[in-house]
Structure formats: C-alpha cells, structure tokens
Structure 1
C-alpha cells in the first residue's frame, strides 16, 4: 500500500507548525515531511509529532532572505556546506528521519558540478545511516539553482555511484522543467528515493496535467523500495477541504488489499 506524507511546511498552514502533525494524522496521512525544521528543538518536535514519522527533511539552506539555497554545489562554500549538513544530519538522526534532501544551492559550471559530487560523497560517508536525495528545481521557482534538470541529476547520480544517494522525483518540478512528468518518471524511476506530488499547472491539489496518480502510486508500490509519496502543494483553500485525492487513492489501496 502506498504511504502518503503531508508536507507540513505547505499544508495545514491555517495553524502553527507544531499543531500540523496532529491535523495530518487526522486527515489520513501516514507521515509528514518538513522543509526546514531546524529552528525548532528536537524535543518539541517529538512531542508534536504524536508518533507520526518524519520521512523527509532538507539540509539547512543558509540565509534564505539573502538568496542562499543550500551550499552543496557552491565552490566557495564548502565549509558552510559541511556545517549545514552536520547540523541537519544531527536533527535527522534525533527525529529518526530516514531521508535528507541535500540542497545544491545557486551555482553553475564545471567547478560547481565537481564540488557537488565531492560534497555528496563526503556527506554519504559522514552520515552512513541516512539516505540522501537530490532534487532538480525549476528555474522559474528557484532562479540560478544548480540542479535544474532530471537528466543532469541522473548523470551525477550515476557518476557518484553510491546506492544511498537517490533522486527526489517531484512531479511539479518534473513537469515545469521537462513538460511531461510521466516521461521523466518512466526514464528515471529506478533512481528514485522519494516522490512528491502536486497539481499541474497550478501546484494546488494533486491531479490533472496529464498525470495518472493511480498509475504513479501503483508503480511506486511495484518498485518495492519503501518509497513514500509526499504531498507538497499549495492548497486552493483550507487544506482539509481539498483532500478528496487522498481519500480516493487510499480507497483504491483498500480495494486492492
């Protein structure tokens, strides 16, 4: 059965952050994702989670207001990358988060790619209990971000060649970058370590845009890799009013199982 996680940075924003895991659990989600949980102590998170697993978080991005978007591919920021990675890995371990998305940052060129590969290898050796993910982000939403193409990501993963570093397949970004998210999925699904869904072209509730969510979930299950499907979208109204997609997919699982 497909396991669904609510991205509580984007969902249930009607209430404070630490109140969101409870709402996610009530809504039928099996776990949560958090983009940047770093400024809340682990003890507070543990009380708020009510036993719900955090299945994915990001490395600390640095000063977001100053334009920083992580450091893994930024040649002049290797010390900053290592500091941010260690901070993030410590929190992930404290909360039993199995997957850590390593943010590449704003950079370009061959030197950036070389540094990116080296930093990914260092991170995998430094945190052997974590699965690391890399995620292409489209340049309209994230101008200048180094990793902005799924084929580029696949090539880097193949070059690094470490099984605990995988692709984070975000349906929204795949569609924005390449036009057809299903084509990207078909080409790269064997590299995927985490899945995220949203509607296209609005990034509201999942559905539309030529993507068959039932097929996607069926293939996620068939890969038999313990993957999660994260709901990372901007609700069109109150979050709980737009969860028909979740109910429908869970009903499919009950009918099959």
Structure 2
C-alpha cells in the first residue's frame, strides 16, 4: 500500500513547502493539505517538483469561525461558489487532483438543495478534477450537514456527476457507523479517497478500535491502488509516530 501525508495534521508547525519536504524525508508517497491559500502556489509547486510527490487534494475554505464550510448554507451561494472557484484554480495551479467541497453547519431540504447545486457547479467547472464530499462525525463537527455514508451516497446519486466522489474517512465513519469492511465493499464504486486515523483519539493508526492491517487488506482485495491519506494528530514529534508506516505498507 502507498500512503499520503496530511500536512495540516502531521506537520502543522511548518510552512507548506517545508511540510512537503518533511513528508518526502519521512518516506511518504504523496501529500494532501487542508487550506493552502496563504501560500503562493508557485512555492508549493516548486516543493512538489523538488520532492517528486503529488498533491492529492485540498479543501474549500471554511468561511467564518464555526461554519466549517459554505456549500450547504442558505443565502451564501455566491460566496460558496467563489470559494469553490478559488479552490479549483489553486488545485490546477499546483497539479492537485481533487477538491473537497466543505458543506458547513446546516440542515434540512433547503440546505440539501443548495449543496447539490453548488456541487453541480464544482463538477461542471472542473471536469478534470475529482470533487469530494466527506461525512464528518457529530462529535468533532456538531451540526455539520453531511455525517453519514448513506447520505453521501444519496447526494452523489442525485447529483449524477461522474467526477463527484466520496471521501471515505475511516475515523469519522467508524465513530458514526462502524462495520467499515462492508461499507468499503458497498461504497467502493463511489470512493475517491480514503483517510485513516486511530479511533477514538485520532492518533497514529497503530492502536485503538480499528485494525488498519485488516482495513488495508480489504482495500487491497477490492483493488484500491491509490495512496491512503494519513490524517491523524501525532502525540509528539511526527517522525516519532511513523512506526505504522512500514508495517501497513507491507500489508
């Protein structure tokens, strides 16, 4: 298996080019980030070229404190689409393959209709990119519009866009639903990215409720070939938390 370093968690204390270089030195196969917009894309592109690592994905901006995204918020459609366009432009500038469109704190039919319209805009604006949606658990992200895989499946089916996919974050979905082996099997046709972290503490994927050796075997048997995103919070220096990496890579 191959693995991607989520730079927003693993090297949060470094600037983005420095974090890319740290991930390369640690032996990762790819990188991904959250909100790169304060860094000039030229600097990111240079670090990616230097290390040879691909940037797999980035997020749309979260909006105001507590909003956690804009794409499902009634009355914020123009701002949401501007942020989607900004994310697409940045992704293209650095050769990034996916944009995660963050829904925000909202609920109800109006929010769903707005989210679907904004997702359609994203998919049409970037047919060359993968547009991702991600269920977040209700403990870490209370009130977030999207919290379950079945809800994500329904949205993807309703949207009818080939480049709209599910971000299957094992940490969030284990907390909300469990039974990840069967969920991976059922949802594999719509999964665009997989992320891992220990449950319940969101630490390194070498302890807790989930046996990631098993999860990696399931993914391998299902034909998954893309890097898996390591999106966890190290308990100390990131380099001291990476004992899992050679173990899971050999699974």
Same fold judged by TM-score > 0.5?
A: yes
The aligned runs of 1:149-160 (5 Å cut-off) are 149-160=148-159
The aligned runs of 1:158-173 (5 Å cut-off) are 158-173=157-172
Is 1:78 aligned with 2:77? yes
> Which residue matches 2:103?
104
Shift of 1:181: 3.5
CA distance in structure 1 between the aligned counterparts of 2:220 and 2:79, rounded to whole angstroms: 37
Is 1:122 aligned with 2:104? no
3-state SS of paired residue (1:54): coil
> Which residue matches 1:24?
23
- Conservation of the 8 A alpha-carbon contact between 2:200 and 2:209: no
Shift of 1:123: 1.1
CA distance in structure 1 between the aligned counterparts of 2:231 and 2:199, rounded to whole angstroms: 12
Is 1:131 aligned with 2:134? no
> Which residue matches 2:186?
187
CA distance in structure 2 between the aligned counterparts of 1:113 and 1:14, rounded to whole angstroms: 36
Higher mean displacement: 87-96 or 187-196? 187-196
CA distance in structure 2 between the aligned counterparts of 1:78 and 1:12, rounded to whole angstroms: 33
Change in 2 beyond 3 A, CA 1:219/1:107: same
> Which residue matches 1:59?
60
Higher mean displacement: 172-181 or 90-99? 172-181
> Which residue matches 1:218?
217
User: Structure 2: which 5+ residue stretches go unaligned?
Assistant: none
- Conservation of the 8 A alpha-carbon contact between 2:29 and 2:227: no
3-state SS of paired residue (2:213): helix
Deviation readout 1:58-104 (Å, 9 max, x if unpaired) = 112223xx322211111211101110001110000011111111101
CA distance in structure 1 between the aligned counterparts of 2:34 and 2:162, rounded to whole angstroms: 23
CA distance in structure 2 between the aligned counterparts of 1:227 and 1:251, rounded to whole angstroms: 15
- Conservation of the 8 A alpha-carbon contact between 2:185 and 2:222: no
Higher mean displacement: 40-49 or 166-175? 40-49
CA distance in structure 1 between the aligned counterparts of 2:196 and 2:188, rounded to whole angstroms: 14
Deviation readout 1:91-150 (Å, 9 max, x if unpaired) = 000111111111011110011111111111121111111101100011211121101111
What TM-score comes out, normalization by structure 1 length?
Answer: 0.90
The aligned runs of 1:10-21 (5 Å cut-off) are 10-21=9-20
CA distance in structure 1 between the aligned counterparts of 2:13 and 2:106, rounded to whole angstroms: 35
Shift of 1:48: 2.7
